[in-house]
Each structure stands twice: as structure tokens, then as C-alpha cells.
């Protein structure tokens, strides 16, 4: 039996409403990477129902797929801008590319003259976006949206937040709506909100939105339980040695399902609210868990729940909640509730 990944669409909608209530501007929704791995076909309609009207994706291909689920009235922006081969998709999907370079501006004006576009400018992250000198060189521009992206928004005291905010003031010359903040920027306060915000991870229950409603619940079926004597080892490399007579449950999931090998012995699974430590190495399809302290072993153990969030699991693996969420694999039985 496959593991079950339950995705709460009402929680996603509640998180969008909560983030929207923190601002006095429009709140968009970032649904790139198949809605952070949770399924854009289900997530986007729930966000539309909640009130989102503007969506952001990474690629034109994602925009085409999204358009099928939100209808013709939604505004869809593409972070990657207008790349080679995107012309037909931008036109057919009524997508708005956020142009990132002089080459993209030239390509767009040549191949899709008259269509709406936005601009992404670099204010200090040095990842995507036009430099201010390039904007001067580009000449007359009439974007319908200008965005930039904060590098350190999840660290409120970092000085780069203020420096990027100051640099973004240059964008006011375009007399267009402005957008600087994703989830972390929303948390920084009104000065960072401008005309539209772009929450992503906060919609899906992740930090830095600490008050987010949990969205995902992942239950792993127990395949087998066995007794292990003192001194016996468990798993590849014999990295865990029993220091007491133990009962070890083997559950059906592993790193092929996005449960990162690096979490090793630092992660927990839960029987209700009772933590059960992972023992030994995470393997491709299996995880071994110490259930000695349970009165009886349930048919399933939870690795994501209200007791262990994506960020808790990420901490055990030495990574971030984004990676946990977007790595959740295709083998799970996906169960949607609400919406």
C-alpha cells in the first residue's frame, strides 16, 4: 500500500486570506513548480475561490497549464520572462512575461509587439533582473508591472532588506504597479508591500509565515515490525545500534519519495502525538523507526502533521521547508480535502 499525502485546500485558502489581511494592497499567489509540488490543478482553483486573481509561475509552460484551471480572467505573470521558444505560449495562454534582460526586451518587442509585459529589476540579489543602467539603455518602456525580489526577507534584521527597498524606489518612474514582496517581505511590514504581494511558501504552510495553517499531512504505512536485541544494528552501514531490546517498524517510503536521506536519525515519525525516532539510514523505499515505547504499533505513522511541519523535517535534514515540500514524490496516494 502506498503512503498517503493529504493536502488541505481549505488551509491553503485560509493562509492566502490571512496573508491578504496583513496588507492594504492586492495579494497574488505564486503557484510555480506545480503549486510547490502540491498540484496546481487542485490548488489554483482553491486560491481563485478564495479571492486570488493574479498568479505567478516560473515558466511559460507552467502558465499554459495554469490557464486551464483558472480561466480567462486571471492575470498570469511569468518570472522567467520571454525565453527562446516562448512566443506561441505567451500569446496562446495570454501570459505576461516579466522581462529580465535587454535581450528579452528586444526579443519581445520583435516577436510580440503590442502585447503586455512586465519588468523584473535587480535591486541587489544578483540573480534575475535588469540593472538600472540597462533600464536607461533600454529606452522607452511601458510595463504593466515592475517587480524585484528580496534576498534576505526571512532575516528581518538583515541590512540588505532596507538597501533593496531603497533601490526599488527607482521603479516608481514607470508609473506602473510595483511588487517587491513574497511571503517574507509581507512579514517586513507595509513599506515593503507596494501594489501587489506575491506569497508562495506561506500559502503552503511554511516559514517565515509562522502562523500559517498546516497544509500537508503525510502518513506512511507500516510494512513490518521486528524485535531487535541489544547490540544488533539496523539499516545500511550499520549506523544504529540497539542499546536496549527494541521494536523496529519499517515503513513504506524513502528518498525516492522525497524524504531526504540526510535527515537520518534526527527525524521523527509520529503515532498521534507520540514521537518515534527514525533509526538507521533512510533508504530508497524504506524508513526504519523505533516504536519500542508505543503500546501497540499503528498501521501508519505520520512524518508530516501538526506535530512535525515541513520546516521541522527540513531542520532534521539540514535543508529548508521549500525543498521538503517540492520534493514530495509521485508515488504517494494524494488525497485532497476541502476546496
Annotated catalytic residue within 49, 192, 236, 322: 236
| Contact residues for 320 (Cβ-Cβ < 8 A; gap 6+) | 311, 314
Please answer whether residues 222 and 251 qualify as being in contact, where contact means their C-beta atoms are separated by less than 8 angstroms. yes
Calculate the alpha carbon distances from 334 to 39, 299, 331 in Å.
9, 18, 9
* 146 grid coordinates: 515592475
Please answer whether residues 79 and 58 qualify as being in contact, where contact means their C-beta atoms are separated by less than 8 angstroms. yes
Cα separation, 249 vs 261, in Å, equals 17
Annotated catalytic residue within 32, 75, 204, 255: 32
* Crossing angle (nearest 10°) for helices 9-21 and 40-50: 40
Can 49 be counted among the known catalytic residues? no
* 157 grid coordinates: 534584521
Count the Cβ atoms, other than its own, within 10 Å of residue 260. 19
Angle at 285 between CA 281 and CA 286, to 5 degrees: 50
Can 192 be counted among the known catalytic residues? no
| Contact residues for 97 (Cβ-Cβ < 8 A; gap 6+) | 60, 77, 78, 80, 81, 82, 86, 90, 104, 108, 117, 118
Instruction: Give the catalytic positions in this structure.
Output: 32, 236
Amino acid at each position: 500500500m502506498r503512503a498517503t499525502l493529504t493536502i488541505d485546500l481549505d488551509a491553503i485558502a485560509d493562509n492566502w486570506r490571512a496573508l491578504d489581511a496583513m496588507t492594504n494592497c492586492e495579494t497574488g499567489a505564486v503557484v510555480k513548480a506545480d503549486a510547490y509540488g502540491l498540484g496546481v490543478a487542485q490548488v489554483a482553483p482553491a486560491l481563485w475561490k478564495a479571492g486570488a486573481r493574479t498568479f505567478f509561475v516560473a515558466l511559460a509552460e507552467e502558465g499554459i497549464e495554469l490557464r486551464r484551471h483558472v480561466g480567462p480572467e486571471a492575470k498570469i505573470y511569468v518570472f522567467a520572462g520571454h525565453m527562446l521558444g516562448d512566443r506561441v505560449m505567451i500569446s496562446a495562454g495570454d501570459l505576461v512575461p516579466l522581462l529580465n534582460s535587454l535581450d528579452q526586451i528586444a526579443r519581445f518587442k520583435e516577436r510580440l509587439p503590442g502585447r503586455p509585459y512586465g519588468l523584473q529589476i535587480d535591486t541587489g540579489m544578483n540573480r534575475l533582473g535588469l540593472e538600472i543602467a540597462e533600464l536607461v539603455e533600454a529606452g522607452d518602456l511601458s510595463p504593466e508591472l515592475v517587480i524585484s525580489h528580496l534576498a534576505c526577507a526571512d532575516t528581518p534584521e538583515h541590512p540588505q532588506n532596507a538597501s533593496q527597498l531603497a533601490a526599488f524606489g527607482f521603479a516608481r518612474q514607470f508609473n506602473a504597479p510595483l511588487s517587491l514582496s513574497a511571503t517574507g517581505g509581507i512579514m517586513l511590514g507595509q513599506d515593503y508591500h507596494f501594489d501587489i504581494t506575491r506569497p508562495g511558501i506561506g500559502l503552503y504552510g511554511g516559514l517565515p509565515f509562522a502562523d500559517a495553517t498546516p497544509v500537508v499531512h503525510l502518513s506512511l504505512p507500516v510494512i513490518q515490525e521486528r524485535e531487535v536485541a541489544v547490540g544488533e544494528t539496523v539499516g545500511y552501514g550499520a549506523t544504529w545500534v540497539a542499546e536496549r531490546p527494541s521494536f523496529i517498524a519499517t515503513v513504506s517510503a524513502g528518498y525516492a519519495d522525497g524524504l531526504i536521506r540526510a535527515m537520518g536519525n534526527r527525524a521523527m515519525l509520529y503515532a498521534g502525538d507520540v514521537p518515534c525516532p527514525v533509526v538507521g539510514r533512510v533508504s530508497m523505499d524504506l524508513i526504519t523507526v523505533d516504536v519500542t515505547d508505543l503500546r501497540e504499533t499503528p498501521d501508519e505513522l505520520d512524518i508530516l502533521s501538526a506535530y512535525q511541519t515541513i520546516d521541522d523535517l527540513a531542520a532534521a535534514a539540514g535543508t529548508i521547508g521549500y525543498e521538503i515540500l517540492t520534493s514530495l514524490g509521485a508515488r504517494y496516494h494524494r488525497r485532497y480535502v476541502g476546496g
